[in-house]
Each structure stands twice: as C-alpha cells, then as structure tokens.
Amino acid sequence: MMLRDRTAVAGVGWTEYAKNSGVSTLTLALRAIGSALDDAGIRHSDVDGVACHRVGDSVQAVLVAQALGIKDLRYHLDMFGGGGTSHQVVAHAAMAVATGMAETVVCWRAVNARSEFRMGGTGRAAPDALEFQYQLPYGYATPPQQYAMLARAWMHARDAKPEDLGRVAIAQREHARLSPRAMMRTPLDMDAYLASRWIAEPLRLYDCCLETDAAVAVVVTSAERARDLAQPPVLIAGAATGGGHTLFSNGRADATVSAAAELAPRLYAAAGIGPREVDVAQLYDAFTFLVPLQLEDYGLVERGETGGFYADGHASLGGLLPVNTHGGHLSEGYVHGLNHVAEAVTQLRGAAGARQVAGAEVALTTGQPGYVGGTCSALILRRDGDPVHSSGQATAPMGNEGNGA
C-alpha cells in the first residue's frame, strides 16, 4: 500500500527551549501536544494514537495517553532509540493513519536534556550496547568522543578543513538569529569558531549540539481530514528507515559514508521525486560534520564539494538549498530530531517569517544517519496542492551548479 500523500502533518507545537525547564518531561510533553492540537484546531478527545521515542530519559507514552484522557487508545508507539528513530516515529504514525488503525496520532519528543538526563553524561547506567564494555576502560564513553573519530575519518577522506565545519555552524547561527525560539542568537564568526575550546578533536564547542530542556509535537492525520482543519496541511510524501553503523559490530567498511546513502534512493522513490526537487533541507546535526556528510549521502551535493557549497553561500537563506533554517540542533535547540520535522512543516506552510524560503514546496528532513545507534530515518514532506515533480527516478546531485541546472 502506497503511503505517498495519504497522510499529513496538521499541527505543530513547541515548548520554550531552555537550560532548566523546571518541570517534568510529562508536563513538557503535554504542553507541546496541547500547542500542536490548538495549532491544528483539534480537540484532545479527537486523539486516538500516541507515538514517541526516548532512551530512558522521558515519560512513557501510555502515561501521556492517560494524561490526555484518551479512553480508547487505538494506536500506541513507545520506541526506544535516539535521533536515528526520530523520523521513524512520524512514519509509523502515518502508517497507522493510512491503514485505519488510528485517525489522529500525536508524535512528540520531550527531554530535560540539560537539567536532568544529559546525553553525554557518565553518572548514569551504561547503555546496553555490547561494545560499550570495551570502550569504557579507555574513557571512551560520550557522543562527542564517538563522533569525533567519525568526523576525523570524514574530514580526512574529503580533505576538509576546520573552516569547512565552521561554515556549517556559522550559517546555522545566522538562521537561528531569525528565530524567536532559538537558544543561541548571538552572532558567530570564523574567528570565534576557531578560538572556541576543544570538546574532542576535531570537534570544537560550536561543532556540538546544544543540551536543551524542551518538547516538540506534531499531529498526523489523513490528508482529507487535514484539509478541513485550521492550518494548511503538509503532506507526508515519503518515508524511509534504514540501518547504520555501530562502532564495532556490523562490518560497514567505510565510516565516511552513512547508512543514509542506502536509504536515500528508497526515500526518493517512495515520494516520487529526485534530490533536485528538494527546496529546503533540515538535516540532523548533532555535530557539524553530519550536515555536509548527509548533503552527500542524500544526493544533494557531489561528494567532496560540500566545502565549496557552504563557502559560496548555497546552504544559506537565499542560496540554492537552504539547510537547517531554524538553526538546527547547533543553535536552535536539541529536541532529538523532531524539531527538524516541525521546521520543515513551518517552511512548507510559508509561516517561517524572516527565515522563510521563498516558494518552498518540498522539504527533506532527516534523523541521525545511523551512527552509533545503528538506525536511521527520514521524511519527504510537500506542500498540499503541489504536484510531485518527477517519476521517482533519482537525479544527479546539484554539486555547485545549482538546483535543476
């Protein structure tokens, strides 16, 4: 059964992005969900499905359902996993709606990732990955350490310089300055980037995502129903999930190409487009190097040309393919992937204000591309009423020649 355009995101909602929310993750979840339902013009009593992802750091989905007053819970997903599963949650909600399991599903991520469960902390139980027992004796325990080795490998393979990562951080900070939600709106230049302290070489302070207390929610329902609601519907044109690297266990030989490279052709085929039809991209950015890596792996820019793509301003507002128009995890806030979906929806509604991409019709939004956690996921969303542009055959990346040149 084809999923293409059968479901839509009808509402989006956020809490404040903060360093200390002062409330529980249940309260955060309910505030974001309430905001999303108000945005869609849907009553709490209309919700019959709930879906979230978490890594032992947030409230159970069934407790959220109880707090919402859902008496007949027709669909329930409580997925264990990090950013690689973030878009899979929305895809599963869309499948539930498309197959009639539920009519209206709320998806959310709620974290007190700064004041409570710090993602890189060691003052908590060890993860249940088998290889962790071999890492810990060497003090190799946190995401920046893990991703630093991957970043070094990618930089070496692409002959990338520190400035190439710096341009990613700077471009996203400029976008964040246009968003009232963003945690970081102070201007950032290359001198400040290069002078920032090392976290784990080659990653500096501004290469690493923020730690954030916040929640984001989206409402998924049928495309037909969404057209009768309060906001312009944003259609879920395509969804795909894939595998990924763990650091030691699954024999992927080249760490400089992520599992997104295998996922991407299936994603474009599901949506019936190629990479040249993407107008705006929200790419998972726990660390700066993941952004140019995904530009390559999703076929948006030729391998080895992302440095020039950023240097020429193509990833900025007004460029060929604006990337992370909200500032991303690096400057807006880290809500573990779902804030990328919310920004894509906002752009396709034409409601992004000063950071709006003119004429945006198709958005690519991605979860973490499979490193460490071993799974990845992504969505293609499109503005309702706009035709799918192609037959789904992948077209060549744009490189530095322009979208559709």
Buried b (16+ CB within 10 A) or exposed e, 1-29: eebbbbbbbbbbbbbebbeebebebbbbb
Instruction: Return all residues near 386 (Cβ < 8 A) that are at least 6 apart.
Output: 361, 362
Chain centroid to CA 358 = 21
27 CB-side CA count, 13 A: 7
Q: Please tell me which residue in 75, 268, 310, 334 is annotated as part of the active site.
A: 334
Question: Distances from the Cα of 228 to the Cαs of 24, 51, 56, 154, 274, in angstroms?
Answer: 34, 23, 37, 47, 30
Question: Distances from the Cα of 342 to the Cαs of 81, 216, 284, 306, 366, in angstroms?
Answer: 19, 8, 13, 25, 12
Strand 376-383 relative to strand 234-242: parallel, antiparallel, unpaired? antiparallel
Q: Which amino acid is at 242?
A: G
Instruction: Return all residues near 387 (Cβ < 8 A) that are at least 6 apart.
Output: none
276 CB-side CA count, 13 A: 17
Helix intervals (H) in 99-242: 132-135, 143-158, 162-176, 190-195, 223-226
Per DSSP, the residues of 240-256 read EEE----SSSS----TT
Closest CA to 52 of 16, 24, 88, 27: 88
Q: Please tell me which residue in 17, 75, 206, 284 is annotated as part of the active site.
A: 284
> Which phi-psi region, left, alpha or beta, contains residue 5 (left: φ > 0; alpha: ψ -120 to 50)?
left
Q: Are 79 and 53 in contact (CB under 8 A)?
A: yes
Question: Distances from the Cα of 288 to the Cαs of 147, 154, 171, 282, 295, in angstroms?
Answer: 10, 12, 11, 13, 12
State yes or no: cis peptide before 369, omega within 30 of 0: no
The answer to whether residue 334 is catalytic is yes
The answer to whether residue 284 is catalytic is yes
Active-site annotation, residues: 284, 334
